[in-house]
């Protein structure tokens, strides 16, 4: 969330004396990661966690900063709103009839303004709007956006005379109802989204964005300025379902405090009656629904707070902290949180506030956790690590492969299609792996010129009715025969060779598999079995080695790698991960491939996009010369033209 630092002065003059860095540091210590953005004026970009919707405004940030600033001061000075004198004098409007259905609206307040002159915002407001990363639209809309950033209460301005029948119904949408929002987008609703309807049509995608049919424009004379609160879950569902997220919906889906509406509307009325806003007149207020706020009282036991935190905080200090945050505490240590703190519900929440304001980092002592003895036996993890050490002694190397594989992997290995993902990231990885073998086939392909390839993986596979840990091994090149390896493994683990053979699957790579994975070398074989097969083995190491120090990373090849870029024009449906796979598997000299640009634009052609890749070429035994690389690079280009109907750029 962007915050103009100067806006903090609206709520607390002393905060103006702090630098941007000081403010950022305090917010960081309070649990809000903050970046300082350079610009015409210093702006903070604050990360606000979902549990603190009250901080999504300059007011909320000011409250937090003031609590920190005042914690060592003698007097507590609460951050206060300006008065609501103007609003209090307004009569309650009887102009609009507002109906509420489906419990989607919790509060509906507003004011009606006459003599409205829509025009450009005054310069100071346009500057603020731009600093916040928004576009100035007109004086009313800009004001609503700015006040929302200041107070955290979203506002919406309706052209009052466009509301047909002088009536509004606030309810859930039916399936297939439509609304056009004021940015010109047509929505066909799924049903359940909070909406506002007048006599004829939907006029507002409530809490998300206003309707185009009631937007304020040059012809507007009278405005209904709405300060409402909608049901959080319904807004969140609507926002996600329609894939539209606005500053308003981001606040509604967490919570908006009910005490903000009149102060915000007061500010709006005061500003709008000024000359530079066209001198609009607030004539009445709308008080159709007021949220029933349940008073919460939480009994806090200071002993338990100290036990949880590992501290010895005195009651005086704790009470002081809670008061600084706006809480009321009675003499029995029952705490009533302020309306804007929806995150304070149980005593542990109040304990966290104590620790947060004291400062989590500096002053809390750390207490040693005494060692206890555990009588637990070997877990499967520890057992597997011991097995790994034994395999490494035999010359095998551990690999990790992906848990998701493709339909084609399943087909070429004659494995059943099951465990399908509903939303795969990569179409060639859309099933849960029922076996480790296809992944190991890819590993063999990856190491085309490495000799010998002797690898293993211990990992989870997914069968129709269970998840199983398996050990699989793959062999290629100058190594012993399958039978020799089976005998060697049985011996190394101390398991009867006949029993072992009965419980393992051995597999010689078939011709179709050689073709599919592009494995040119002959004689590739694999072994796979559930790890539990080794349960009765007599020679599993009871302990495994703990690496004692960090091994420095040595460059992959002594001979410097050569880098080339390639950019291709392809149809937008082409998956870049598949392109990377094709390039990587094309030639052993390709050490690594990464995509550095994806550019989608109609200027490239209808349904076309451009993908650009860095390719790193290297060889283990010599420095590659340019001509060699050029040849391979050109061949890769041809391969991509063939496989993806690509055009090299």
Partner 1 sequence: MKKGSLHPTSQFLRRAIQIFKDLGFEVVDSPEITTEKHNFDDVRMPANHPARDMQDTFWLKDGRLPRTHTSAFQVPSMKDRKPPVRLLIPGRVFRNEATDSTHEALFYQLEGFVIDEQVSLAQLKWSLANFATKLYGADTEVKFVPSYFPFVEPGLEMHVKVNGRWLEMLGAGMIHPEVLEKMKVDPKKYQGYAFGLGIDRLVMLAHEVDDIRRFYRGNLRFLYQFGTGQ
Find the binding residues for partner 1 in span 521-560 (CB under 8 A).
544-547, 550-554, 556-557
Give the footprint of partner 1 on residues 30-49 (CB under 8 A).
30-31, 49
Binding piece for partner 1, criterion CB under 8 A, among 262-270, 320-328, 359-367, 605-613: 359-367
Per-residue exposure over 158-184, b if at least 16 CB sit within 10 Å of its own CB, e if not: bbbebbeeeebbbbbbeeebebbbbee
What is the distance of C-alpha 50 from the center of its chain?
11
Tokens representing 382 are 């520890």
CB of 52 to partner 1, least distance (A): 7
Peptide bond into 395 cis (omega under 30): no
Per-residue x/- track, 563-602, partner 1 (CB under 8 A): --------------x------x------xx-x--------
CB of 274 to partner 1, least distance (A): 37
Nearest alpha carbon to residue 269 among 10, 83, 135, 108: 83
Task: Among 243, 379, 511, 601, indicate the residue that binds partner 1 (CB under 8 A).
Answer: 379
Angstrom distance (rounded) from CA 90 to CA 102: 30
21 binds partner 1 (CB under 8 A): no
Angstrom distance (rounded) from CA 510 to CA 505: 15
Binding piece for partner 1, criterion CB under 8 A, among 22-30, 132-140, 277-285, 510-518: 22-30
The 3-state DSSP class for residue 313 equals coil
CA dihedral over 85, 91, 95, 97, signed as positive or negative:
positive
Give the footprint of partner 1 on residues 298-357 (CB under 8 A).
307-311, 346, 348-349, 351-352, 355-356
Angstrom distance (rounded) from CA 94 to CA 284: 9
Could you tell me if 230 and 106 are in contact, meaning their C-beta atoms sit under 8 angstroms apart? yes
**CB nearer to partner 1: pick between 556 and 634:** 556
159 binds partner 1 (CB under 8 A): no
CB of 468 to partner 1, least distance (A): 10
Task: Among 230, 277, 322, 404, indicate the residue that binds partner 1 (CB under 8 A).
Answer: 404
Q: Which residue has the tokens 């102060």?
A: 263
95 binds partner 1 (CB under 8 A): no
Give the footprint of partner 1 on residues 418-477 (CB under 8 A).
419-426, 429, 432, 439-440, 442-443, 446-447, 450, 453-456, 460, 462, 467, 469
Give the footprint of partner 1 on residues 232-291 (CB under 8 A).
233, 236-237, 240, 253-254
**CB nearer to partner 1: pick between 118 and 590:** 590
Residues 6+ apart with CB under 8 A from 160: 95, 96, 112, 222, 223, 224
Residues 6+ apart with CB under 8 A from 159: 214, 215, 216, 217, 219, 220, 222, 223
Task: Among 361, 465, 602, 606, indicate the residue that binds partner 1 (CB under 8 A).
Answer: 361
Angstrom distance (rounded) from CA 88 to CA 269: 12
CB of 330 to partner 1, least distance (A): 22
Q: Which residue has the tokens 């929440």?
A: 349
**CB nearer to partner 1: pick between 397 and 408:** 397
How many C-beta atoms lie closer than 10 Å to residue 111's C-beta? 25
CB of 29 to partner 1, least distance (A): 7
């Amino acid at each position: 969330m962007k915050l103009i630092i100067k806006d903090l002065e609206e709520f607390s003059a002393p905060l103006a004396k702090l630098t941007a860095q000081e403010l950022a540091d305090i917010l960081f210590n309070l649990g809000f990661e903050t970046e300082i953005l350079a610009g015409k004026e210093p702006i903070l970009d604050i990360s606000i966690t979902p549990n603190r919707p009250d901080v999504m405004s300059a007011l909320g940030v000011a409250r937090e900063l003031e609590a920190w600033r005042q914690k060592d001061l003698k007097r507590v000075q609460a951050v206060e709103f300006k008065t609501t004198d103007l609003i209090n004098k307004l009569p309650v409007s009887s102009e609009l009839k507002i109906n509420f259905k489906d419990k989607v609206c919790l509060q509906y307040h507003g004011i009606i303004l006459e003599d409205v002159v829509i025009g450009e915002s005054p310069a100071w407001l346009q500057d603020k709007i731009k600093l916040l990363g928004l576009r100035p639209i007109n004086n009313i809309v800009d004001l609503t956006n700015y006040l929302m950033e200041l107070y955290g209460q979203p506002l919406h301005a309706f052209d009052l005379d466009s509301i047909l029948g002088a009536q509004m119904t606030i309810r859930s949408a039916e399936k297939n109802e439509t609304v056009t929002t004021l940015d010109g987008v047509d929505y066909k609703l799924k049903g359940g989204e909070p909406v506002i309807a007048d006599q004829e049509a939907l006029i507002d995608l409530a809490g998300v964005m206003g309707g185009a049919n009631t937007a304020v424009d040059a012809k507007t004379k009278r405005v209904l300025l709405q300060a409402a609160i909608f049901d959080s879950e319904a807004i969140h569902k609507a926002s996600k379902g329609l894939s539209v997220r606005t500053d308003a919906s981001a606040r509604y889906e967490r919570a908006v405090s009910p005490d903000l509406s009149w102060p915000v509307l007061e500010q709006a009325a005061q500003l709008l009656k000024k000359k530079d806003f066209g001198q609009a007149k607030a004539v009445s207020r709308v008080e159709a629904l007021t949220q029933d706020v349940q008073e919460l009282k939480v009994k806090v036991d200071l002993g338990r707070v100290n036990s949880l935190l590992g501290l010895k905080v005195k009651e005086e200090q704790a009470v002081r902290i809670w008061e600084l945050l706006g809480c009321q505490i009675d003499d029995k240590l029952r705490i009533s949180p302020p309306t804007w703190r929806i995150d304070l519900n149980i005593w542990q929440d109040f304990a966290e506030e104590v620790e947060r304001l004291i400062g989590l980092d500096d002053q809390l002592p750390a207490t040693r956790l005494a060692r206890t003895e555990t009588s637990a036996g070997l877990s499967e993890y520890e057992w597997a690590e011991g097995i790994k050490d034994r395999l490494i002694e035999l010359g095998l190397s551990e690999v990790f492969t992906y848990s998701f594989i493709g339909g084609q992997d399943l087909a070429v290995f004659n494995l059943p299609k099951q465990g399908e993902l509903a939303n795969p990231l990569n179409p060639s990885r859309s099933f849960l792996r029922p076996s480790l073998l296809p992944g190991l086939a890819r590993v063999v392909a990856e190491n085309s010129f490495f000799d010998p390839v002797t690898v293993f993986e211990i990992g989870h596979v997914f069968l129709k009715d269970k998840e199983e840990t398996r050990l699989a091994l793959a062999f290629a090149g100058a190594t012993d025969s399958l039978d020799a390896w089976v005998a060697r493994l049985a011996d190394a683990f101390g398991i009867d060779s006949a029993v072992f053979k009965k419980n393992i699957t051995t597999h010689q790579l078939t011709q179709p598999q050689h073709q599919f994975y592009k494995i040119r070398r002959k004689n590739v074989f694999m072994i796979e079995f559930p790890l539990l097969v080794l349960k009765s083995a007599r020679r599993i190491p009871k302990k495994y080695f703990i690496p004692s120090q960090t091994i420095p990373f040595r460059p992959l090849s002594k001979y410097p790698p050569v880098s080339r870029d390639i950019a291709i024009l392809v149809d937008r449906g082409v998956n870049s991960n598949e392109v990377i796979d094709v390039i990587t598997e094309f030639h052993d000299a390709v050490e690594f491939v990464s995509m550095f640009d994806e550019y989608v634009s109609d200027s490239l052609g209808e349904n076309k996009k451009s993908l650009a890749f860095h390719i790193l070429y290297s060889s283990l035994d010599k420095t590659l010369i340019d001509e060699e690389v050029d040849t391979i690079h050109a061949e890769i280009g041809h391969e991509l033209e063939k496989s993806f109907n690509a055009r090299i750029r």
